[in-house]
Amino acid sequence: MDDRLEELRRRLDMHPDDPECLYALGMEHARIGQDDRAIAHLELATNLAPEFADAWIQIAACQHRSHDSRSARSSLERASEAATATDDAQAIAAILALERQLEQE
């Protein structure tokens, strides 16, 4: 098993309501091609922190890779709302880039 995954799971056991840990765990699953598991962890992060724009963006990216464009667009809407509310320019740029990818399909 991946050492990073194991480390994050231990951290999550100690802090089950930590959206940053859930995000990191989701990102690690996405990195190794486990988009379904990634989405599950990222959704838990957004349940705890609905304003977590980066988590919404990564959910959309996983959905896009899974050829679920409708869900990806919906997740990007949530990401956009969160990024706009927090004035997160970096997240807004990432959202626009992913929207362009979706439009090319």
Cα-based distances in Å from 88 to 27, 61, 80: 20, 18, 9
Whole-angstrom Cα Rg for the chain: 13
Q: Which phi and psi angles does 67 have, rounded to 5°?
A: 65, 35
Give residue 21's pLDDT.
97
CATH number of the domain where residue 96 is located: 1.25.40.10
Is pTM beyond 0.85? Reply is yes
Q: What percent of the chain has pLDDT over 70?
A: 99
Give residue 1's pLDDT.
55
Domain residues for the domain of 84 are: 3-103
Q: Residue 26 in contact with residue 42, Cβ under 8 Å?
A: yes
Q: How many domains does the chain have?
A: 1
Long-range Cβ pairs for the range 9-12 (8 Å, 24+): none
